Structure 1
Amino acid sequence: MKKAGEQSTYTVDGDAAVKFKVTSIQVGAPCHFPYDTKNGQIVVVSLDIETTATLAKVQTKTWWTMQEWKAIDANGMTMNGNPVAGVCLAPNEQLPVTIGPAEKANGKLAFDVPAGSGTLIYTAPGAPFGWEWTYPAS
């Protein structure tokens, strides 16, 4: 379980390949473009990501930012995180879809999640573990 501002590290063979942190979570965020939520509310997550040359050791040689997210609502119901960055965020706000070795990026991801509080979970492709951030009700 992580809090906004805490660093997370993905390692390969004991070396840091990706360091990232959720810098903020905005619940009930508006969409910049017309979009009706399918699940209840928009949650926007801001991230800072830095990769190292070690990332070149993974099969894809990239870090995927929009895959492998899921959300769990306050009642314990699990659903796909359903990223909607393309319809809710202006292009200059969006986090790149992939990041290569020895790169830095910052930006936002937006999710259409059930209303109320919940938990967002990110599991890196191929990783046996993930990271979790809770968000409050709007």
Structure 2
Amino acid sequence: MLRRALPAVLVAATLLPLAACNSESAGTQDAAGAALPTTTSAAPEASEPAGPAKSDRGNVIKQVGDEAYATLLDTDERVFTFSVDAIRVDQPCNSGFADEPANGHFVGIDVRAATTPNLPADWFIQISADNFQVIGPDGLTVTDVWGTAYSCLGTAGSFTTDQLGPAQQYAGTVVIDSPVTSGTLIYKVPGEPTGWEWQF
């Protein structure tokens, strides 16, 4: 089990310590034998099986359609899952007021997500263009892929920008503004060393 905070998850205003556990788990130790801190609720953690394939950047390598999930630290119960079902270069726009891509190309990312009733109230989960990056064939990483992507799709086709609530399912398209039409798509929370990546 990869013990990392889920790259799609912001907990309140900040990320909780990655190895945090709830008060019922006090005294638990990490892999190095160090005592883990006690908090009022479990922090979201990464959700990959032990020993997932990783890139040289430390991200978990995923294929389109693969599922990722976050579990409660004390029970390993999956409370949040998501998958990238398609990556579409030159995403058609339907908002009626779309601007030209500032970076060159709109890329549509079809996302499905689901939460369980036990999703902790202090897990602030959103999936938006802010969490994506691209690496082009030239090896350059582009972290600002927001551009004019917000103008591309109408509300009906877009993945929600709201916080995800418990016991719900979501589907829609996140649009990013990319300078490249092929390369590596990365999904992670700023400041977190580990994310997920897909080739497109």
TM-score bracket, shorter-length normalisation:
0.7 to 0.9
Matching residue within 108, 117, 122 for 2:173: 108
Q: Deviations over 1:11-49 (max 9, x none)?
A: 231321211111111111232333111212111011110
* Identity percentage of aligned residues: 31
| Alignment of 1:68 onto 2:131 | yes
| Alignment of 1:31 onto 2:96 | no
Q: Deviations over 1:70-92 (max 9, x none)?
A: 12112111122524553011110
Runs of 4+ in 1 over 3 A off after TM superposition: 124-128
Q: Does the CA-based 8 Å contact 1:72-1:120 persist in structure 2? A: yes
Q: Which has the higher contact order (CA 8 A, sep 6+)?
A: 1
Change (3 A) 1:39 1:125: closer
Change (3 A) 1:52 1:62: farther
- Separation of aligned partners in 1, 2:175 and 2:165: 22
Unmatched 5+ stretches in structure 1: none
- Separation of aligned partners in 1, 2:190 and 2:180: 27
SS in 2 for 1:92: helix
Aligned length: 133
| Alignment of 1:129 onto 2:194 | yes
Matching residue within 143, 146, 152 for 1:80: 143
Query: 1:69: Cα distance to partner?
Result: 1.7
TM-score (norm 2): 0.59
Q: Does the CA-based 8 Å contact 2:149-2:177 persist in structure 1? A: no
Change (3 A) 1:85 1:42: closer
- Separation of aligned partners in 1, 2:114 and 2:189: 14
Unmatched 5+ stretches in structure 2: 1-60
TM-score (norm 1): 0.83
C-alpha RMSD of matched pairs (Å) = 2.1
Between structure 1 and structure 2, the one with the greater Rg is 2
